[in-house]
Structure 1
């Protein structure tokens, strides 16, 4: 046992010896009574842990453990083992403590760790300098040695697989074996923790490559559920030591961080001595002239140094010089401001006095490379002593050489690029991510899709593109506002992310459109489709749950279109288009469902595009016309006619409205088409007013929901009446029940404005929608129309009879005229008469015909219908 040299000697030697012996006996007895034997697994991993000549653990973690053992009265029993064997012995309980274990979730299930990391490290590749490895991509085809069973081995193997790189992994039982294999040419590179690699690299004439990965926290580990007291003691010592810069923890780190380089004496120093000798000789000779010259030169040197310091202090960069022991020898104003110290307080200190241990360690690695003769340019991330105030610098460091080419110091210039990095990150975020949801945008989606397609082609695995579009999102946006719509999109994004795997790629294409990329699916089509359907079903069920918005609960759904990677396509954008087409098919199939792309969809799209082009020409070239179907009373007297739009195609003849009206609705052509119909019908109404036999006819126009809700609709109607001279009280506008569910208050307001000018209103297809009677009584209506579907089965279906009777009774109570459409037989007419209906329209009284063929007697009503006859 060593006696602490700091102990003061006692005045009586005999008494001192006696007390010393008693102390030794007391310590020995206490140790024997309380010592705990700790079996420590030791493997060769210098400088962190290895066995010394006496078999005791040494190295950084070994010495720290010895210090803890001395204080805790542990009796350390070394158990030599190879790494994989050490792990096995620990799990079997054959050893009590294993140093130098990197934490991972998998290992935490098999063994216990303390809380405070004992050491920080990372993995690095080492090779011959001639190999020039710069990135993971350079490892293709190489032989790479790594410790068997280590996290490094598993991580590097998965990293190579993720890049699709073929490389030979060589399993090692000892890291020195790997360095020897690279030295002898039996391997191209070896992966090791940085501390071990930097410690041994010179012995094998290898160099560290820029390929670093997997920063790790190192711990002492115990068998699962055992030796909790060991871990608690280790945490207590580490926490106390790491809080004190002068503790044994930092002394051990300093001692094992690498061989201190002997500071060489600069050549200029010897020249200075020679100059001093010459000056002394001249002084002895009493040369006053030379002393004057020396004084002048000194003044010039000081002036030059002052000017140089002024220049360096004015530069907006951190400029410094460090000696071989990495102590600051010069620091400009920016360096002093960074540290919050004066120049005198900076000179002679190392980075460990100004930065946290991790930063100081990283800076030391770069600095030692420069002192070895390398010029480096790279980014460095620094934190203060408390691990806060993180800043990023672009540093250029180069060695300073003496006249004999020896390196006596390094010079560094570091520029703070923290804000520049943040700006670049913000620019990247704006360029590649959606600002509302944070998901990748269309630009990044196409990049991800291109990589996914390439991976699928290499692996032979199937992939899929899911195009997700919310149903009726525009309705929510229009009624509740865009702010509420944005909140819904954010909630939708969150729900979708909760349903997908980490490896899946979810993007927001724009508006209410989202795209999901699924990869690595089964190459067998039916199996892949089954998985896709499961995923889509999860997404649809998640989006069907109500969304809680401020003051409003929204229930919605989505339509999903799917395109498989294996389907033919020319470029990624075309695959996206295929999924988009399939999504529209899902909407056409009733929404809230899934649809896979079929090549026939492409043909339908081409036909639709052709039809849209021809319809636009029809509007501009006057190919549209109106036909009229008579309306009569119970005596068969002509009351009016319903106008039906027709398209006289140059090649196809008359095109049924059912083929082009839905297209006009979806493309927005319904607006110019509706204006044309309005003006044409009003002109016809004005023309009949000049004919005494037709002067009493009125015109009713069935207006589409999109046209009615347009801001200029009221102005368009009044302009048409004014320009044509048609009588407003003979114009009747027909609405459908579906229009009543969209902004009913605005609808009533517009109807009231037109009603004030005499325009009449009729509710078309009554009974087929979801009209609310509370709304119905508020509408300024003049007429209800019984839908043809009730008339068609009137003779055979008691339910239809009951519905017609109810509509007639409702019309009577509300003082509204009721007309039945679709009357094709006398039996239907007679049944309607028995129920109380007095107004009719249908083929029994005449098919749709040109205006000039409409009868010239009695009164009639002319109605414009945008759907099929």
Structure 2
């Protein structure tokens, strides 16, 4: 009997049974009952009376108690508000929780058991809570499911959207018409109505719940007492009105019910015994009846507890198991009979058992209610599970603690999912290092500490030199191997309080914290660390048998004294890294404020350049090209930027910027258009119509796929003579896609366009290239002309170029002629074409007409 009582009391941890209440008659009076549509549990019948499972039960209780039920139709949230305001006396079908218990009173014996389930259209695939990511979920406003799902989605970091509805029927309608993906409902309502809306139950179930009739706080206690009395009578009597009502509304036959024949047999036996014996037999019958009821209740409770997906157990003061439900036995891999009487040392390793006993002693010795996360390892240490455990003391009639009841929920998979989500969200999948997102979070915290004067820090921006070449030559697999080894080397030189992160590609960042408050000493500390990293990354790498040398450029930005946000400190370190690359790579550089000023000025200049392209602030200046007798043969067009505020801007300032930003393409088109228009203008003047006009074409412009079509279109549009247009290339353009370059030159040359090779002698062109290129002219770079009279080697180079041009049938122009002596020397060497300040500086087209008339 004691063992049965222990089990019975333990089961009350989930299903609290109240002591029998003395029957007391209630005065006949009207009871206002809130009714909201929740078939099959609750609804109004055609006569506006409470119906459904809970409505029928309440109607029978009212009949027996002499109450008059006045049904008040309302939606769920409205019903709750009316109940709390005292405008209705009773509300059926209310799930108990601690928040509601603050404003409502509940009876003790649950009126019904249910759980929450998700319903969707057949085509929607939902197998677990993670599948709710990105889904819209219809949920009853103010229900326990609403708060539960909101917390669940937040804990998993899912983006599901909760759509509040005033009734469950409205939620089913939204899913039916596609305005929501899934609806949450209690299982009884959902299974009852889902076929009507062509919906199906998904495998996702949660929140097993006990349902009650509720009243406002401190009112109508007599109603709750009467309800408890009848529910307890009915639930302890198989085949009673309670079970008949469940069956009538679609519920299952109650399990473990005693067959009717047994009832007759017991009744007959009792009658015979009563006739044969006296009061002693009557007492024995009463004991047997109570035992039967106790056993029946225990079986029913065991069935319920074995159905719950939680681990429920009872331990005595010696920490031996006195009860274990099905889940506990499955965890231990032993039947219940072998679990009872044993302690945790039989099932878990020593450390786990010790921690469990520590929590158990707090319950048994101090009477505490313990709620904790417990990590349990099996006896052999091979398996590990995480549980959320709630443990509370069990007390006898005298208030003494005689056992503890524990309820544990396995959260192992939940924790693994959280770890996976956290890993994906905050760590680089290749190296396992923190990613940009986690780095920015830590950097924000570090800067906040620095602003409060708590610590000094620094950021090191690391970029692997020429990493793209490795990917292009050996493949991305080799590149990944290099990144993994580089990450490992960096990790060896970073302290535990520092952060090493991979931003992406071949970029890493090291954030150092807890440095000296003395700026000079901090700089020295960072320099030592940075140089170690440079040396570590410069050591040879073994990439699957291939030895590879790679270096790194590192930029350093110390946390500044003034205000500085995350983006600012990253930009500073990035700029310093590019300064290290500019210094020859494999180097360490600190951020220089002057460098920031240069970058800001460059950004302003780029913005002005874009605006000027649209506003037409560019002009062409022309420098004459003259023959051996001083006659004007043509000119070179040179672009000038007429800045509205800064005046005339040197090409040396804006041409490199245009190249790096891609603005050279629209600028090049404008130059070509303006040059062709000038050729047309000269064509109308007899003394100028023979002139040729040369323009420089950038490598980026020439290699553009539409370049040939663009040149021909402008020639056709303006009507310029193609044979008077000369496109100047540099030797640097011969490095990339020579075959494509020759093809484009031949296409344009077929239309009469001429080509010259500018700055000849300073690049890397070979005689083979020179032989194949469809050129018309070579231009001797001015660096050779400048030192022509003083350095015999320069004079020899000039003679060689002139001879080469003559042998290949190419005209040769000497650039940068500034003195008469240079011109005379070039003439003696055989040069027939000149360009330079000796003849004229670049200027507007008008100076050519003036120069021509003077000549």
TM bracket, shorter-chain basis: 0.5 to 0.7
Q: Which moved more, 1:736-745 or 1:470-479?
A: 470-479
Aligned to 1:640: 634
Q: Offset at 1:380?
A: 2.0
Q: Choose which of 294, 312, 317 in structure 1 pairs with 2:310.
A: 317
Q: Which moved more, 1:548-557 or 1:647-656?
A: 548-557
Aligned to 2:783: 789
Aligned to 2:658: 664
Q: Choose which of 340, 343, 364 in structure 1 pairs with 2:336.
A: 343
Secondary structure (helix, strand or coil) at the match of 2:330 reads helix
Q: Choose which of 669, 678, 681 in structure 1 pairs with 2:672.
A: 678
Secondary structure (helix, strand or coil) at the match of 1:643 reads strand
**Relative to 1, partners in 2 of residues 1:291 and 1:827: Cα closer, same or farther, differing over 3 Å?**
farther
Is 1:326–2:319 an aligned residue pair? Answer: yes
**Relative to 1, partners in 2 of residues 1:795 and 1:502: Cα closer, same or farther, differing over 3 Å?**
farther
Q: Offset at 1:625?
A: 1.8
**How far apart are the structure 1 equivalents of 2:369 and 2:738?**
75
Q: Is this contact kept in 1: 2:493–2:533, CA < 8 A?
A: yes
Q: Which moved more, 1:582-591 or 1:478-487?
A: 478-487
Q: Is this contact kept in 2: 1:460–1:523, CA < 8 A?
A: no
Q: Which runs of 5+ in 1 are unaligned?
A: 1-278, 859-869
**How far apart are the structure 2 equivalents of 1:306 and 1:821?**
108
Q: Offset at 1:650?
A: 1.5
Is 1:440–2:434 an aligned residue pair? Answer: yes
**How far apart are the structure 2 equivalents of 1:349 and 1:843?**
106
Is 1:411–2:405 an aligned residue pair? Answer: yes
Aligned to 1:48: none
CA RMSD of aligned residues (A): 4.1
Secondary structure (helix, strand or coil) at the match of 1:320 reads strand
**How far apart are the structure 1 equivalents of 2:546 and 2:687?**
57
Q: Offset at 1:606?
A: 3.4
**How far apart are the structure 2 equivalents of 1:836 and 1:663?**
39
Q: Is this contact kept in 2: 1:456–1:519, CA < 8 A?
A: no
Aligned to 1:369: 362
Is 1:465–2:470 an aligned residue pair? Answer: no
For residues 212-252 of structure 1, give each alpha carbon's deviation from its aligned partner in whole angstroms, at most 9, with x where no partner exists.
xxxxxxxxxxxxxxxxxxxxxxxxxxxxxxxxxxxxxxxxx
Is 1:612–2:611 an aligned residue pair? Answer: no
Equivalent pairs, count: 580
**Relative to 1, partners in 2 of residues 1:457 and 1:735: Cα closer, same or farther, differing over 3 Å?**
same
Q: Which moved more, 1:291-300 or 1:673-682?
A: 291-300
Secondary structure (helix, strand or coil) at the match of 2:407 reads strand
Secondary structure (helix, strand or coil) at the match of 2:639 reads strand
Taking the TM superposition and a 5 Å limit, the aligned residue runs for 1:126-137 are none
**Relative to 1, partners in 2 of residues 1:516 and 1:718: Cα closer, same or farther, differing over 3 Å?**
farther
Q: Is this contact kept in 1: 2:344–2:353, CA < 8 A?
A: yes
Q: Choose which of 291, 301, 314 in structure 2 pairs with 1:308.
A: 301
**How far apart are the structure 2 equivalents of 1:856 and 1:483?**
66
Aligned to 2:24: none
Is 1:394–2:388 an aligned residue pair? Answer: yes
Q: Is this contact kept in 2: 1:479–1:743, CA < 8 A?
A: no
Taking the TM superposition and a 5 Å limit, the aligned residue runs for 1:770-809 are 770-771=764-765, 779=773, 781-809=775-803
Secondary structure (helix, strand or coil) at the match of 2:642 reads strand
Q: Is this contact kept in 1: 2:632–2:691, CA < 8 A?
A: no
Q: Offset at 1:644?
A: 1.4
Q: Offset at 1:622?
A: 0.9
Q: Which runs of 5+ in 2 are unaligned?
A: 1-270
**Relative to 1, partners in 2 of residues 1:287 and 1:449: Cα closer, same or farther, differing over 3 Å?**
same
Secondary structure (helix, strand or coil) at the match of 2:839 reads coil
Q: Offset at 1:765?
A: 2.6
Q: Choose which of 834, 837, 841 in structure 2 pairs with 1:840.
A: 834
Q: Offset at 1:655?
A: 1.1
**Relative to 1, partners in 2 of residues 1:460 and 1:427: Cα closer, same or farther, differing over 3 Å?**
closer
**How far apart are the structure 2 equivalents of 1:750 and 1:328?**
89
Q: Choose which of 398, 417, 425 in structure 1 pairs with 2:419.
A: 425
**How far apart are the structure 1 equivalents of 2:723 and 2:477?**
42
Taking the TM superposition and a 5 Å limit, the aligned residue runs for 1:442-841 are 442-453=436-447, 463-471=457-465, 489-544=483-538, 557-565=551-559, 567-589=561-583, 591-688=585-682, 694=688, 697-698=691-692, 700-726=694-720, 731-742=725-736, 760-771=754-765, 779=773, 781-811=775-805, 816-841=810-835
**Relative to 1, partners in 2 of residues 1:417 and 1:742: Cα closer, same or farther, differing over 3 Å?**
farther
**Relative to 1, partners in 2 of residues 1:843 and 1:612: Cα closer, same or farther, differing over 3 Å?**
same
Q: Which moved more, 1:659-668 or 1:847-856?
A: 847-856
For residues 248-288 of structure 1, give each alpha carbon's deviation from its aligned partner in whole angstroms, at most 9, with x where no partner exists.
xxxxxxxxxxxxxxxxxxxxxxxxxxxxxxx9x99963677
Secondary structure (helix, strand or coil) at the match of 2:762 reads coil
Q: Offset at 1:621?
A: 0.9
Q: Which moved more, 1:572-581 or 1:538-547?
A: 538-547
Q: Is this contact kept in 2: 1:569–1:575, CA < 8 A?
A: no
Q: Offset at 1:737?
A: 3.5
Q: Is this contact kept in 2: 1:736–1:764, CA < 8 A?
A: yes
Q: Offset at 1:400?
A: 2.5
Taking the TM superposition and a 5 Å limit, the aligned residue runs for 1:61-460 are 285=278, 301-372=294-365, 373-453=367-447
**How far apart are the structure 2 equivalents of 1:772 and 1:306?**
98
For residues 180-219 of structure 1, give each alpha carbon's deviation from its aligned partner in whole angstroms, at most 9, with x where no partner exists.
xxxxxxxxxxxxxxxxxxxxxxxxxxxxxxxxxxxxxxxx
**How far apart are the structure 1 equivalents of 2:302 and 2:751?**
89
Secondary structure (helix, strand or coil) at the match of 1:824 reads coil
**TM-score normalised by L of structure 2:** 0.59
For residues 578-636 of structure 1, give each alpha carbon's deviation from its aligned partner in whole angstroms, at most 9, with x where no partner exists.
33343344445555544333333343343333322222211111111222222334444
Secondary structure (helix, strand or coil) at the match of 1:845 reads coil
**How far apart are the structure 2 equivalents of 1:546 and 1:810?**
46
Q: Offset at 1:856?
A: 10
For residues 784-804 of structure 1, give each alpha carbon's deviation from its aligned partner in whole angstroms, at most 9, with x where no partner exists.
433222222222223333443
**How far apart are the structure 1 equivalents of 2:734 and 2:568?**
39
**Relative to 1, partners in 2 of residues 1:595 and 1:295: Cα closer, same or farther, differing over 3 Å?**
same
**Relative to 1, partners in 2 of residues 1:781 and 1:586: Cα closer, same or farther, differing over 3 Å?**
farther
Q: Is this contact kept in 2: 1:683–1:724, CA < 8 A?
A: yes
**Relative to 1, partners in 2 of residues 1:590 and 1:692: Cα closer, same or farther, differing over 3 Å?**
farther
**Relative to 1, partners in 2 of residues 1:297 and 1:424: Cα closer, same or farther, differing over 3 Å?**
same
Q: Is this contact kept in 1: 2:638–2:695, CA < 8 A?
A: no
Q: Offset at 1:401?
A: 2.5
Is 1:849–2:837 an aligned residue pair? Answer: no
